Amino acid sequence: MASLHAAVLDWYAVRARRLPWRDPSCSPWGVLLSEVMSQQTPLARVEPIWRDWMARWPTPADLARESPGEVVRAWGRLGYPRRALRLHEAATTITERHDGQVPRDQTELRALPGIGDYTAAAVAAFAYGDRSVVVDTNVRRVQARAVTGTAQASPAMTRAEVALAGHLLPDDDEAAATWNVAVMELGALVCTARSPRCDVCPVSGSCAWVLGGRPAYDGPPRRGQKWHGTDRQVRGVILQTLRELPTAVPRPDLAPTHDEAQVDRCLAGLIEDGLVEPVPGDRFALPGLTEASA
């Protein structure tokens, strides 16, 4: 265990990407933003949006004062725009119930809108340096290969994976927090899903998967998600149209090249989710922007 910790932590000290939310001066709010923004989103797309948000809304109170529609507009193309609304709700809760300070306690973090187990553990570790078990896709893949000897983790997280992550966690708080991000980074840069770079991996000499001859994955099928033509794509088209135009948009102009029935279905879902508001005259706008855009 000690040699595994040393190899990964030494590698991270040299090879880690210099991301702004990893800077010691970054506030807990900045860490929280980065964790929510980076869910299922490449960090290269996250960083410019994160910088814009931190410059515009450097504290939860700043974001809480903004209209939900402007927050959705500023979310840009990060995907899963409901995360923007949940962040706005979380900022409001932090401002009203926690004196504007991101809570440290994981139970209080999980009580914030849109914050689940992973994000609560990550904020506790990366914002406050607490010893917590942080498990994402990259961590699961590194564990699967280095410790259990399988090519990929299971399609869905298991209790055994969380227990293994806890077992591998260093005892020291600071080392544990660094270990969490170091394993993530190793999975993101070296122990990748499709083309692992075992020749430069700091633990290849002890990796159970490598030592076992790199056997192919033989677990449950892993199905990729299609994009083109899906409701998710059409929802994105509608929101992008509303972000780009300064006025409320007539229904026919929201996604003119897509099937009308699908557009109606997606529009209804966006309204139900609070991402779009109807405006008189069969027009639509981002939430909270109806007066300005009417």
Euclidean distance between CA atoms 266 and 263, whole angstroms:
5
User: Which residues are catalytic, by number?
Assistant: 35
For 237, the token pair is 């088209």
Q: Quick count: other Cβ atoms within 10 Å of Cβ 159?
A: 7
Tell me which amino acid residue 158 is.
Answer: T
- Cα torsion for 277, 281, 283, 289, to the nearest 10°? -50
In terms of Cα–Cα distance, which of 254, 183, 211 is closest to 12? 183
Does the CA dihedral 66-81-235-73 come out positive or negative?
positive
Euclidean distance between CA atoms 229 and 285, whole angstroms:
23
Write the burial class of residue 116 (CB in 10 Å: 0-12 exposed, 13-18 middle, 19+ buried).
exposed
Element (DSSP H or E) covering residue 284: strand 283-285
